[in-house]
Amino acid sequence: MTDTTVKTIADLTREFGVTARTIRFYEAEGMLSPERAGTQRLYHPRDRVRLKLILRGKRLGFSLAEIREIIDLYDSAPGEVAQLHHFLDKIAERRADLAQKQRDIEVTMKELQQVEESCRSRLSELAPRDGREAAE
Amino acid sequence: MTDTTVKTIADLTREFGVTARTIRFYEAEGMLSPERAGTQRLYHPRDRVRLKLILRGKRLGFSLAEIREIIDLYDSAPGEVAQLHHFLDKIAERRADLAQKQRDIEVTMKELQQVEESCRSRLSELAPRDGREAAE
DNA sequence: TTGTTTCTTGACGTTAACGTAAACGTCAAC
DNA sequence: GTTGACGTTTACGTTAACGTCAAGAAACAA
């Protein structure tokens, strides 16, 4: 019975749409640490989760350094009091950062809606009855 | 009566927290085009708006090329039918992109909340009565 | 056994987005 | 009339995040 949860690097490239070079690069940066079967890399679910986190961070425009920090927050050991407070500070930073991004997105969304509306109204002037409602 | 809406490059660096090099770089990339008083640059409100758009795009993790595209959407001339449809497609792309980012942010926010909670609970184990409520 | 993939490890190349330094103009203030 | 404080251009340097070979090992298929 072959364990289908253990993946090869090619599997990951297909699953996540990134190159093998990229995956190995993340490992070289210490952000992934797949098991080895001799020379070959074996990726377990935990590695896939990590990669997913990395790519999500990238989509949000975080640098790998920032992503590493975030991930470190996730799977860090309990720690002592001072360190826990430090964690809470880090978390607060990230949350403020994300909140800023949310506001930026909202504003941009609204602006794009404006542009889209003026686009559509000009379209209906130029080519009446060429809307998108009845189509498809 | 001096026009306080016209700013120098140093004004912008202070207002937006970026270096003059950065501002000139954006100009070299064709994303800003300030007026010139001889050799010196004069930034009008429209330039400040543009810079604001650029920096917002950066916060959202867009590349300058993408930001340029977005800005071009904003201040492009009416255009013909085909081009308008093309615009609408571009807008749809960007909106999908932003929607993805929103989802990513929500998930990340929730994860961070989890981490924060477990942090706080461990803190209350280690150092009871050291909460943050009554503080400050 | 012999190909044909698929993997591996170097190692150098590339692009975006600026940083940094040199060398020079300009204009108000002392 | 020179001294700063600001501005300019030109040009080379830097960093992050990979891309792109090259050359060999391993596994799998015919």
What is the per-residue pLDDT across B51-61, written as a single tens digit (0 to 9) for each?
A: 999 999 999 99
Provide, as residue numbers in chain B, all residues whose Cβ is less than 8 Å from the Cβ of A101: 59-60, 101, 105
- Evaluate if the CB of A28 falls below 7 Å from strand D: no
Instruction: Lowest mean pLDDT of A73-87, A122-136, B96-110, name the range.
Output: A122-136
Angle at B46 (CA atoms; ends B40, B52), nearest 5 degrees: 100
Q: Are B62 and A101 in contact (CB under 8 A)?
A: no
Provide, as residue numbers in chain B, all residues whose Cβ is less than 8 Å from the Cβ of A89: none
Mean pLDDT score, B35-44: 96
Two tokens, residue A27: 């490992």
Local structure of B40: helix, strand or coil: strand
Contact between B59 and A104 using a beta-carbon 8 Å cutoff: yes
* Pairwise CA distance, residues B117 & B124, whole Å: 11
Instruction: Please report the pLDDT score of residue A75 as a whole number.
Output: 87
Residue type, A94: R
**Closest approach of chain B CAs to the CA of A134, in angstroms?**
16
- Evaluate if the CB of B8 falls below 7 Å from strand D: yes
Band of residue B128 on the pLDDT scale cut at 50, 70, 90: confident
Band of residue A77 on the pLDDT scale cut at 50, 70, 90: confident
Two tokens, residue A135: 């189509």
> A9: closest CA among A1, A25, A71?
A25
Provide, as residue numbers in chain A, all residues whose Cβ is less than 8 Å from the Cβ of B100: 59
Residue nearest to nucleotide C6 (CA to C1'): A10
Nearest neighbour of B115 by CB, restricted to A73, A127, A130: A73
Query: Which bases along strand D come within 7 Å of a protein CB atom?
Result: 6-9, 11, 16-21, 25-27
Band of residue A129 on the pLDDT scale cut at 50, 70, 90: low
pLDDT at B131 over 60: no
Contact between B91 and A123 using a beta-carbon 8 Å cutoff: no
* Pairwise CA distance, residues A45 & A25, whole Å: 19
Tens of pLDDT, residue by residue over B22-38, are 999 999 999 999 999 99
pLDDT at A134 over 80: no
Distance from first CA to last CA of chain B, Å, rounded?
46
Residue B51: count of CB within 10 angstroms of its CB: 22
